[in-house]
Amino acid sequence: MLLFSIRKKNIFFIVLSIILVLSCKNDNHKFTNQLINESSPYLLQHAHNPVNWYPWNVKYLEKAKKEKKLVLLSIGYASCHWCHVMEKETFENEEIANFMNQHFINIKVDREEHPNVDKTYLTAVQVMTGNGGWPLNCVLLPNGQPVWGGTYFNKEEWLTSLKNIHEIYTENPKNTDDFAKQLTKDLISLQNISTNNDSLKFTPKKINDLVLNWNQKLDTVNGGFLSEKQFPRPNSYQFLLRYAYQTKNKKLLHFVFKTLNKIALGGLNDHLEGGFARYTVDNKWQIPHFEKMLYDNAQLVSLFSYAYQISKNKLYKETVINTLNFIENEFYNNGLYFSSLNADSFNKTNELEEGAYYTWDRKDLESLFKEKDYSLFNDYFGIDSVKTVEGKHALVKLYNDSVFVKKHQLNLDSFKKKVNSWKSILLNERKKRKKPELDNKILTSWNALLLQAFTDAYKVFGNEKFKTKAIESAIALKNNAISENWEVYRSINVKKKKIKGYLEDYAQLIHSYISLYQITLDEKWLTYSNKLSEFTLDNFLRKDQNVFNYTSKNDVSLISKNIDIEDIVIPSSNSVMNKNLFYLGHYYSNNSYLNLSKKILHNLMPKIEKHPHIYSNWLDNYLNYSSPFYEVAICGENAFLRSRELQNNYIPNYLLSGSTKKSNLPLLENRFINKKTFIYVCVNKACKLPTEDVNKAISLIK
């Protein structure tokens, strides 16, 4: 993790015989922490450190060059527990701050505001050490090239490491430069996508083989992936859900439902106020790491909506409603939504503690319920069965309600009333606690994910409230995140300057507007998607490799242009754009879009074949090419009603267009007939006879 990782690469080997003890006087350096002028809650948390922090700006690299200093880049986010720990014990230490101020230009970055900076140096640290995470700390040359890095350090490790690095750089600048150049060269090579010279062909057999490979990563006992921790990874399970359904793979479908039950019933879910934590620190989905992120919750709404559509499991519907209620109660801001809630909150002794707002002392629980009730409560929420969180209990359901009442021979309706009374008691107690701090950044891509969630929930449940929220959110994004020339902003804050958008922001926004068109049949959202795609193609496409850069060609380049291709926590921006080109290619009969989508997917196949489990969204689009994909057009005065009837069904391999009047959209052109509502089902540019019967149309697809 420290200097020794450099030695492993046999590029930069220096024997340290003596560590120089450098004395720093507290009054030598003027306090110039400039984070107080920022809007990011994470940066403001560090605004009163004695460290002379600067916000991210390439001009501070120039400052380092003029002063002949190394750059110390420290990256985190507001809801990160270990970021807070390092801030308190390390960055508030006067001795450490004085050393940092004397020998480094110190830059603090909110990874959610500047994901490109984060992706660049996270990769660098992973290459150097084999590990990555947050807080992320990296030492750079003034030209931005990395020379050393790691994650969390206690104050002794941190000071010792910085002294070592400063000594090495001072005494051996050429060796430092040589190492940085070689590492940068390695990082650039990782960003290259080679042309795939195999024949361009997408087959069911190929994707079957890839999923078979993926199966080796699945935890069939606990659900989820084989890992010490469990992340929800909604996109992975949404693909597996679709694949299992389309291929009638009952075993895989059962696995997905098992995983979703664990997610909904386990400690990841807040059973009192709704909303999901980011991950669990165990592999059984029981012990949460308590920060709640907008992007997780939005994607889980989409996942559980479609899982309900297939299974009709009431647990999934309840989960969707509770999660959307949580988002509305905690994150809503005039049609847009804030980013996250902190993992830490104040405990009984008024000290910040991870999970203090959410966890319970056993004695307190015993005092809140009568003896008979407590025994039942204890079993229902796994108080004695689940490992504690630092001696306290998170609420975990080991069984769903129907199983639990059978176990205890209870009446289901009466028991549900009892559970509601328990929750009411606990909520009243929780209200006495101070809530975790809110990260009030408004990020375009995360809001687009929520817009997608509203549209997915509406498609499945038909609740007009979800449609209303989707339209409100879409309008707010159009007014606040998109300029007149279709440039998108990353972070939307009316009081502060806006940050230019990354490919992630464009891709997710385009995708959600396409989905909004499908529930409103309002062509302006499709037009907006196409305009944004044209801007993206002009400003992000790397034509020599047929792939999109993460940053615009007009943005200042770091050590390399990032290419975001892995579908892990959030679908990669390239995979989302790949789908966007596929959908818009069909909507506008645009062969250049379709051909580019095919080329990009084809070129990615060698990487996908090696690690299919981190390319789920690419595989989802592969399904669109390897099995029949349908265009469905509904024209006539009852187009809205017919579209709703169609969307009540889980049909993942079609796109919908529709209009209650004449339209010039290629899929609708010359198909409108007064006082009739016809449904046209087409595949591979061949159309079936139009029908007025939705069930007939569904049979033509299935």
DSSP 36: G
Average pLDDT, the chain: 91
496 confidence band (pLDDT: 50, 70, 90): low
**What is the DSSP code string of 494-559?**
TTSPPEEP-HHHHHHHHHHHHHHHHHH--HHHHHHHHHHHHHHHHHHEETTTTEE-SS-TTSPP-S
Q: Do the domain assignments include residue 165?
A: yes
558 confidence band (pLDDT: 50, 70, 90): confident
Please give the C-alpha separations between residue 191 and each of 130, 140, 502, 605, in angstroms, as whole numbers.
18, 20, 17, 15
Greatest mean pLDDT range, 125-129, 372-376, 640-644 = 640-644
- How far apart are the C-alpha atoms of 572 and 616, rounded to whole Å? 10
pLDDT of residue 29: 43
Where is the domain boundary, 166, 190, 214?
190
685 confidence band (pLDDT: 50, 70, 90): confident
What mean pLDDT comes out for the span 439-449? Answer: 97
pLDDT digit string (tens) for 566-576?
A: 999 999 999 99
pLDDT of residue 191: 79
**Terminal-residue alpha carbon distance, the chain:** 53
What SS3 class is residue 686? strand
pLDDT greater than 60 at residue 202 = yes
pLDDT of residue 695: 96
Pick from 523, 545, 537, 521: which is nearest to 581 by CA? Answer: 537
Where is the domain boundary, 131, 166, 190?
190
pLDDT of residue 463: 97
| Percentage above 90 pLDDT, the chain | 81
| SS3 per-residue string spanning 384-447 | CCCCCECCEECCCCCCCHHHHHHHHCCCHHHHHHHHHHHHHHHHHHHCCCCCCCEECCCEHHHH
Pick from 307, 246, 303: which is nearest to 626 by CA? Answer: 246
- How far apart are the C-alpha atoms of 306 and 652, rounded to whole Å? 10
Range with the poorest average pLDDT among 189-193, 205-209, 242-246, 587-591: 189-193
DSSP 688: P
DSSP 153: -
Report whether 545 contacts 603 (CB < 8 A).
yes
Where is the domain boundary, 410, 432, 454?
432
Q: Do the domain assignments include residue 451?
A: no
Please give the C-alpha separations between residue 584 and each of 234, 242, 251, 497, in angstroms, as whole numbers.
24, 21, 34, 32
Report whether 30 contacts 185 (CB < 8 A).
no
Q: Do the domain assignments include residue 139?
A: yes
Q: Do the domain assignments include residue 384?
A: yes
CB atoms within 10 A of CB 273: 18
pLDDT greater than 80 at residue 25 = no
pLDDT of residue 397: 95
Pairwise pLDDT comparison (31 vs 139), residue with the higher score: 139
Residue range of the domain that includes 91: 4-190
Q: Do the domain assignments include residue 85?
A: yes
- How far apart are the C-alpha atoms of 557 and 32, rounded to whole Å? 27
pLDDT digit string (tens) for 398-421?
A: 999 999 999 999 999 999 999 999
Q: Do the domain assignments include residue 111?
A: yes
pLDDT greater than 80 at residue 677 = yes
DSSP 690: P
Q: Which amino acid, 532?
A: L
- How far apart are the C-alpha atoms of 623 and 644, rounded to whole Å? 24
Range with the poorest average pLDDT among 35-39, 306-310, 557-561, 695-699: 557-561
What SS3 class is residue 373? helix
pLDDT of residue 192: 79
Residues forming a β-bridge with 335? none
CATH number where 47 lies? 3.40.30.10
Q: Do the domain assignments include residue 251?
A: no
Opening angle at CA 124, ends 339 and 559, nearest 5:
90
pLDDT greater than 70 at residue 338 = yes
Q: Do the domain assignments include residue 245?
A: no
pLDDT digit string (tens) for 513-540?
A: 999 999 999 999 999 999 999 999 999 9
pLDDT greater than 60 at residue 193 = yes
pLDDT digit string (tens) for 450-465?
A: 999 999 999 999 999 9
pLDDT greater than 90 at residue 180 = no
Pick from 61, 150, 186, 52: which is nearest to 558 by CA? Answer: 61
Range with the poorest average pLDDT among 8-22, 493-507, 660-674: 8-22
pLDDT greater than 70 at residue 267 = yes
Cis ω before 135 (30° cut-off from 0) = yes
pLDDT greater than 50 at residue 228 = yes
18 confidence band (pLDDT: 50, 70, 90): very low
Pick from 322, 309, 221, 225: which is nearest to 264 by CA? Answer: 322
Domain total of the chain: 3
Q: Are strands 70-76 and 53-55 parallel, antiparallel or unpaired?
A: unpaired
CB < 8 Å & 24+ apart, contacts of 553-557:
555/116, 555/500, 556/58
pLDDT greater than 60 at residue 4 = no
Report whether 84 contacts 344 (CB < 8 A).
yes
pLDDT greater than 60 at residue 629 = yes
pLDDT of residue 494: 55
